[in-house]
Each structure stands twice: as C-alpha cells, then as structure tokens.
Amino acid sequence: MTGPLRTGQPGFDPATLDDNGRAIHGSLRAVEAWVENHHYKAYEPFDGLSSPLRRLACGNLLLERLFMQAVRQSPINIRPLVGIKPLPSTKGRGYMAAGYLTLYRMTGDAVYRTKAVDCLDWLRGHRSSKFHEYSWANHFDFASRGGRYTRSSTATNARASRSISAWPRAHAAGSWRCRASGPAAAPA
C-alpha cells in the first residue's frame, strides 16, 4: 500500500455496487468470517511434517519429502487423521492485516482499522527472536531437494513485512499505541 492511510467514503453501501462488486464483496466477507471463526488458524499446504507420523521416516530426507507430498497431494484432507492441527500463520496474519487496511481505506469503517492493528500487534509479538529486524518463520518443518528447514529457521515473510511496515500508518490515524508498549487508547 502506498501513500497515507485515508478514510473511505462515509456511508459505504455494498448495495451500490454492481453485480461483480457485490459478488467480490460477499466473497471478502465470507473469507473474513471464516478466518475469524477459526481464530486465524488453518492448515498450510506443506505442513505434512507436523504429523507425529513423521518419525516413521527415521530422519530420511527422501521419506520426509514423500510423506509431506502425500499429505499435500491427497485428494481428501488427511491432516486430522495423521495428527496435524490447524495453527496460526504469520503469512495469514500478514494477508489479513493488509486486507483489513484495504477495507478500512475503502469503507472508512474503524472496525477494520482495529482488526488490522490487532493483526499487526500479533505479528510484532510473534517475530523471530533471532534477528533485530522483523522476520518470521513458518510454523512447520519443510523438506525439499535443497534440504530441511525447521520451524525455527527464519526466512523473512514478505507479506508480513509489508504489513508490519503499514503498522505506523494504522496507528497514525488515531492516538493508538501498540499494546506491547501500553494499552490502546480509544479511537477519537
């Protein structure tokens, strides 16, 4: 997002959208409801090595890759059967923060600003302790031809990084402070 955060048009009404706009708006609301109802937790395409059955691979990289791909490529979701639980995702929070900020700009609805700040505060609280700058890792191990990456390996999450850079703009619109530094003030 570029430029200052701007409040949208007062009185945004989805009924004024054309058919495509209403369909897109309805889809956005459905995604928003699903993510929030699931407390921002979900499965990841490559989270197969989070299964307790991983130990059957005995540390063999090829077997770990095969197991991870079997979970990923299965025509049905076998994750619950192999003990994989939905977990929060830094990528997911980054995307949601960016989406909430976009919706706030479009609609001017302060609820979206509050949700964006909550996501950004969560990201700030879940960054890697290995680096001074903002950086995050996946919440699951990964195996590829290039080797293994553990959940403690840190690779910068570009979406989360772009979203966290928007954090000051989200706060600049009001007198809010980060919860990490103190309680948030009520919006003006």
**3 or 152: which leads in pLDDT:** 152
pLDDT of residue 178: 39
Going from N- to C-terminal start, the domains of the chain cover 38-177
pLDDT of residue 180: 38
pLDDT of residue 93: 93
Which string of DSSP letters, residue by residue, matches 76-102?
S--TGGGT---EE-HHHHHHHHHHHHH
Which string of DSSP letters, residue by residue, matches 40-89?
TEE--TT-GGGSGGGGGGTT-HHHHHHHHHHHHH-SS--TGGGT---EE-
Asked whether the predicted pLDDT for residue 94 surpasses 70, the reply is yes
Sign of CA dihedral 135, 138, 144, 149: positive
pLDDT in tens, 33-59: 999 999 999 999 999 999 999 999 999
Sign of CA dihedral 118, 119, 123, 126: positive
Asked whether the predicted pLDDT for residue 185 surpasses 50, the reply is no
What value does the mean pLDDT of the chain take?
Answer: 80
**63 or 177: which leads in pLDDT:** 63
Asked whether the predicted pLDDT for residue 75 surpasses 60, the reply is yes
3-class state of residue 25 by DSSP: helix
